[in-house]
Amino acid sequence: MVEVSLPDGAKIEFDQSVSLFSIAETISKGLAKKVIAGKINGGELVDLSTVISQNCSVELVTDQDPEGLEVIRHSTAHLLAYAAKSLFPNIQVTIGPVIENGFYYDFSFNRPFVPEDLRAIEKKMRELSKKNERVFREEWSREDAINFFKSIGEIYKAKIISDIPVDQTITLYREGDFVDLCRGPHVPSTGKLKAFKLTKIAGAYWKGDSKNEMLQRIYGTAWPTKDQLEEYLARVREAEKRDHRKLGKSLDLFHFQDQAPGMVFWHPDGSVIWYEVENYLRKIYRESGFSEVRCPLMLDKSLWEKSGHWEHYNDYMFTTSSENREYAVKPMNCPGHVQIFNSDLRSYKELPLRYGEFGSCHRNEPSGALHGLFRLRNFTQDDGHIFCTEDQIQSEVYNFSRKLKSVYSDFGFENIIYKLSTRPKDRVGDDSVWDKSEKALSDALDEVGATWEVLPGEGAFYGPKIEYSLKDSLGRVWQCGTIQIDFNMPKQLGAEYVTEDNNRETPVMLHRAIVGSLERFIGILIENFGGAFPLWLSPTQVGIATITKSQDQYAKKILDHIKEAGFRVKEDLRNEKISYKIREFSLLKVPYLLIIGKEEVESNSVSVRARGNMDLGKMSIGEFLGKLHKDLETKV
């Protein structure tokens, strides 16, 4: 007799050993169609073929559960390898993990894949899915598994097995004629995999090491249903339209070139956005009691050694030398801020002391990791550091979190995700200090009314942190803001203050940033708004187009009024058709367009069109300026 306990408290008895799939069938046929894998006694996921022979608790995972979706995607990666091996017998399969929204598989092949190969492989995957072949889990000895893969020319698989710890079971999965190394679990049959799409081909080094062979990586996505797949592909198509690199070019905002890899050339209109964001954040500095500072771009090696960066971050630092001294271009701003703190004898009465800097940082990122404005070698942070006592941590974190929420709202982001990362296994400082710090962070989040989750062990070795992520108009999540407690760097760099009883103590250092990298944040803004920025961020806020040349003088008068009011305006007085002028301004996504013809001149008015070809009718210039000021106030 085997008794199975279910999550809802129900219990089912079986006369003999039973598989997880049979348990699902016993509960309902509907569940049996949806179930993908299961858990026994709260352990790791296992295949549905797993047999239970003693009393236990069972949780059945369906294709709608997040863990079930991961099983579907991992199984689809193996289906991809199966199809590729069927079409190209000489190909070698390596690894195929699950990633966000999909999966990939790396292959070693004697020629580059082409788009036609992708279509052929996907077609073959669909054929294999329709065959609904059973997927079998098998346990092999290490030696037999290595010899098997060597015998069929799968050298990479043999290497992977050789690196697996000797105490770990070697498991292979068989579907039809295809056998692959995998820990599992997998779907019970290929027929469970129906909603998938191969998306792109890329290069990838074996084990991510540029010294190894370049492999070919095929990416794909998989979902429980075809409707979910189509919804995702529609989001991808929309994201491609909003790609900040494409919009940066079409809107003439910035460009990149080989002579400065991972660094941005900002054009006039892009610079407008940059300075609007920077000046807005500068206002936030002032409102939050920060003093703006500016530190050298390059510092002596000895300082980076004291801070610990030279030992732990040297590979990502640009270095140079002069007069027998070694220097590093700063990858972050914090050591410089400590030097400002150390430049004078500080008293407890001065704390908290807040420094902010729009600090230009350089990091020697691998060229393959660079990605538009999102991953650069040179970027600027809205970097702030607060020197305070332990008792001041909570209030500082509360004030920061409250201000951050209003800043994100001004940029159009209302949905904020809060995550608290707690102490890792390897850390500095006493547990009592960590207890106090983690409580200060959690209490501050509660005080600001945030719903938050804990990431156990994800804190830095020097202190816990909060990460603030925002969700854009396409539902994508971007981690931007952070506040981190640091017990280590102030001590390493000799920061001290005089206490009330005339002793010396090391201050706590809080690292904070609201948007992080300004470049990356502007890239997020471009994609969130699809280039159609709210009025306050738009490079050109108003366009003026005349119907005939006879309105030029009046148009220039209107232009001067708008400029004097402090708005960014461009006119088009060319001898072109009005429809052509309207289209030109529309492509630039200008928020407002003023059409001026004979009637407007005679009535001393302007015809106003809002972005999206919305006709707002005729207005006096005073009425129109009032509307602009209202838009600025509300940040629309």
Catalytic residue among 182, 295, 334, 388: 334
Contact 199/122 with Cβ under 8 angstroms? Answer: no
In a domain, 321, yes or no: no
Both 48 and 176 in one domain: the answer is no
Both 375 and 418 in one domain: the answer is yes
Catalytic residue among 465, 520, 589, 609: 465
In a domain, 303, yes or no: no
pLDDT of 635 higher than 90: no
Task: Verify whether residue 182 is a known catalytic residue.
Answer: no
Both 141 and 89 in one domain: the answer is yes
Structure tokens at 618: 């005729």
In a domain, 302, yes or no: no
Q: Please enumerate in sequence order all residues whose Cβ is within 8 A of that of 541, keeping only pairs 6 or more positions apart, or say none.
A: 535, 567, 568, 569, 590, 591, 592, 628
> What span, in angstroms and rounded, lies between the C-alpha atoms of 217 and 189?
25
DSSP states of 143-177 = HHHHHHHHHTT-HHHHHHHHHS-TTSPEEEEEETT
Whole-prediction pTM: 0.85
Task: Verify whether residue 381 is a known catalytic residue.
Answer: yes
Q: pLDDT digit string (tens) for 141-174?
A: 999 999 999 999 999 999 999 999 888 899 999 9
Identify the pLDDT of residue 1: 85
Tell me the mean pLDDT in the region 108-125.
95
Catalytic residue among 63, 106, 269, 383: 383
Smallest Cα–Cα separation from 619: which of 553, 630, 570? 630
Q: For residue 579, what are the domain limits?
A: 535-634
Q: pLDDT digit string (tens) for 221-255?
A: 999 999 999 999 999 999 999 999 999 999 999 99
pLDDT of 348 higher than 80: yes
pLDDT band at residue 417 using 50, 70 and 90 as cut-offs: very high
Both 28 and 94 in one domain: the answer is no
Catalytic residue among 346, 354, 363, 581: 363
pLDDT band at residue 425 using 50, 70 and 90 as cut-offs: confident
Catalytic residue among 92, 216, 381, 551: 381
Residue 408's CATH number: 3.30.930.10
> What span, in angstroms and rounded, lies between the C-alpha atoms of 373 and 361?
14
In a domain, 40, yes or no: yes
> What span, in angstroms and rounded, lies between the C-alpha atoms of 221 and 215?
20
Boundary-marking domain end, from 475, 495, 527 = 527
Q: pLDDT digit string (tens) for 9-37?
A: 899 999 999 999 999 999 998 999 899 99
pLDDT band at residue 88 using 50, 70 and 90 as cut-offs: very high
Identify the pLDDT of residue 389: 94
Percent of the chain with pLDDT over 90: 87
- Residue 201: alpha-carbon gap to chain centroid: 21
Task: Verify whether residue 385 is a known catalytic residue.
Answer: yes
Task: Verify whether residue 363 is a known catalytic residue.
Answer: yes
In a domain, 248, yes or no: no
Both 519 and 542 in one domain: the answer is no
Q: pLDDT digit string (tens) for 581-627?
A: 999 999 999 999 999 999 999 999 999 999 998 999 999 999 999 99
Task: Verify whether residue 228 is a known catalytic residue.
Answer: no
Q: pLDDT digit string (tens) for 491-536?
A: 999 999 999 999 999 999 999 999 999 999 999 999 999 999 999 9
How many distinct structural domains can be found in the chain? Answer: 4
- Give the angle subtended at the CA of 549 by the CAs of 581 and 558, to the nearest 5°: 75
Both 452 and 600 in one domain: the answer is no
Residue 617's CATH number: 3.40.50.800
**Residue of 429 and 381 predicted with greater confidence:** 381
Both 282 and 235 in one domain: the answer is no
Smallest Cα–Cα separation from 594: which of 634, 557, 631, 636? 557
pLDDT of 397 higher than 80: yes
Both 521 and 374 in one domain: the answer is yes
pLDDT of 59 higher than 80: yes
Both 453 and 548 in one domain: the answer is no
In a domain, 384, yes or no: yes
Catalytic residue among 337, 385, 405, 520: 385
Task: Verify whether residue 78 is a known catalytic residue.
Answer: no
CA distances from 75 to 105, 226, 262, 427 (A): 11, 17, 36, 38
Boundary-marking domain end, from 24, 47, 62 = 62
Identify the pLDDT of residue 402: 94
Contact 3/55 with Cβ under 8 angstroms? Answer: yes
Both 262 and 380 in one domain: the answer is yes
Task: Verify whether residue 383 is a known catalytic residue.
Answer: yes
Residue 199's CATH number: 3.30.980.10
- Residue 234: alpha-carbon gap to chain centroid: 19
Identify the pLDDT of residue 313: 85
Both 270 and 415 in one domain: the answer is yes
Boundary-marking domain end, from 480, 495, 527 = 527
In a domain, 359, yes or no: yes
Residue 24's CATH number: 3.10.20.30
Smallest Cα–Cα separation from 174: which of 142, 143, 219, 140? 140
Both 38 and 126 in one domain: the answer is no
> What span, in angstroms and rounded, lies between the C-alpha atoms of 413 and 403?
13
In a domain, 314, yes or no: no
Catalytic residue among 197, 511, 520, 589: 511
